[in-house]
Every structure is written in C-alpha cells, then in structure tokens.
Amino acid sequence: MSQIPRLFRRFVPQLLHMIALPLFFFAFILIYRPFNLDTLVESQWFGVHVTILTCIIFASIVLMRLLYYFLPLKINYTLYIFWCVGEVLFTSFFSALYLWLVLNEPMQYFDFLALAFKYNLFTLIIPYSLLALSIRVYDYHMGSNQPETAQNRMRFYDSKHNLKFVAIAETILYIAAEENYINIHYNDDGKNKCYVLRNSMKSVEELCLTNGLVRCHRSYYINPSHIRILRKDKEGVMFAELDVDDVQDIPVSRKFYNNLAEML
C-alpha cells in the first residue's frame, strides 16, 4: 500500500489532533452520554469525571503525537490506522486506571479497560476520520493546484519533516551524504550550486528513485542524464564524469556499476 502524504507528518496536523480529539470527546460525552455512561459514573460528579478523563486523553494524545512527529517512521495507510488504534488503546490504559481507582464498583481493572477502550474508540473514531479526510483532501487540493511542471519538482524535507528545498529534477546533478547531512548539487541557470540539508540518504531514497536519480555509491545518488562517461582510473576505481564543468567526478561502486551503465 502507498505511503501516506508527507502532510500527515507535519507538526500542524499533530497539533490539530492534540486539540480536536480531547475537545470532541469532552463535548460528545458531556452532551450525549453514550453507552449509558452516566449509570457507571455518579450523576452529580459526571462533569468532573469527564473533565479529568478529557485531560488524561489530552496528555496521552500529546505524547503519542510527539512520538509520531519525531520518530523517523515510514507509514502507509494501514499502519497509520493501527497507530491511531494504538493511541486509543494507550489513552484507554490511563482512563481505565482512573476509573478503577475512583469509582466504587466491584469490577477488575481489565473490565474497566475494556469499557474505556469501547468508549474511546467509538467516540474518537469520528474526529480521527474527519481529520484524516480533511488532511487528505487538503493535500490532494494543493497538489492539483500545482502547475504541470511541478510534477517534475523534487521536494526535500529536513529531519523534522519541514519543507526546506524544491528543485526541478532535471537540474539535480547528484546528492552526496556527509555525516548527518546531505549535499544536493544542482544546476541553476548554468551555475553549479549546493544546498545542505540535515537529513539522511535513506530519507530521500524514494524521492530519488521516483525522479530518475539512481544510487551509484553508498554515499551518492546521481542523475544519469548528466553522466558524460563512466571511466576507471589507474587503480581500477570507477568514476562517473558529468557533462557540466567545475564538478567533481562521482565515485561508482562495483555493485552499482552494471545497473548505471545499462541506463546510459
């Protein structure tokens, strides 16, 4: 299954989840009192308990969404659904603990856990679905508004998923790794320039492959359309010579040589 849009990983969608989920839970439970919840919780303290449960959900969602934002995960739609269900389960653990400690009911903790998971899941599935749909529609709308040439643009994000650099794929000469950074070498109106981005080569692998760049070395991706010739030096080390001036020759590993040569 395809990867979810990068917009899902930006900070603003996480902030929306942190705010919208607890608020929806609070309003929905307080107004509709579903699943006969008021029979479990004392009516005179119902609002207090709902407020505390909302704070528990808020704290849990904040923690989980920050983890989702900072962890370098590659998630498709199926895994994203499992992540959301995991968030509901995580909030349910603490909600159930609170109910088990404060309510004078002859029930085991895991009975409260099952109830809390049911309440949270069937309540929060509505804002989860609305947020996911809204983000997906917004991402599609922004993509459809781009000019046709934008399909050839490469969008580079830093390690915090912030958009930092956009370039037309044909202008990219090569990409080189250097410790925790990648150096994007490109041609701008005949001038060779370099943009330094804090991220890993692994993070741009899919972007490079979908835009015609191929791996030629453990630390390099190269644009085959700019290769003038593949050659060996006196020691048998292979290099790719580019068709632009003032650019270093790019090393080519033996494991990538045959694949690269077939593309020329």
CATH, residue 213: 2.40.50.1020
Give pLDDT tens digits for 60-76. Answer: 999 999 999 888 777 78
The predicted model gives 152-169 an average pLDDT of 87
Q: C-alpha distances in angstroms, 163 versus 4, 120, 160, 239?
A: 16, 34, 9, 32
Put simply, whether the predicted model's pTM sits higher than 0.95 gets the answer no
Give the percent of the chain with pLDDT over 70: 93
Q: Which residue's structure tokens are 């900070």? A: 11
Same domain, 164 and 229: yes
Helices (H), the chain: 11-32, 37-40, 46-70, 77-102, 109-144, 205-210, 254-262
In a domain, 73, yes or no: yes
Confidence of residue 43 (pLDDT cuts 50, 70, 90): low
Confidence of residue 142 (pLDDT cuts 50, 70, 90): low
- Quick one: pLDDT at residue 143? 56
For the chain, what is the domain count?
A: 2
In a domain, 118, yes or no: yes
Residues contacting 85, CB < 8 A, separation 6+:
121
Beta bridge partners of 229: 241
Q: What residue numbers bound the domain in which 206 lies?
A: 149-262
In a domain, 1, yes or no: no
Higher-pLDDT residue of 105 and 116 is: 116
Same domain, 213 and 90: no
Same domain, 61 and 179: no
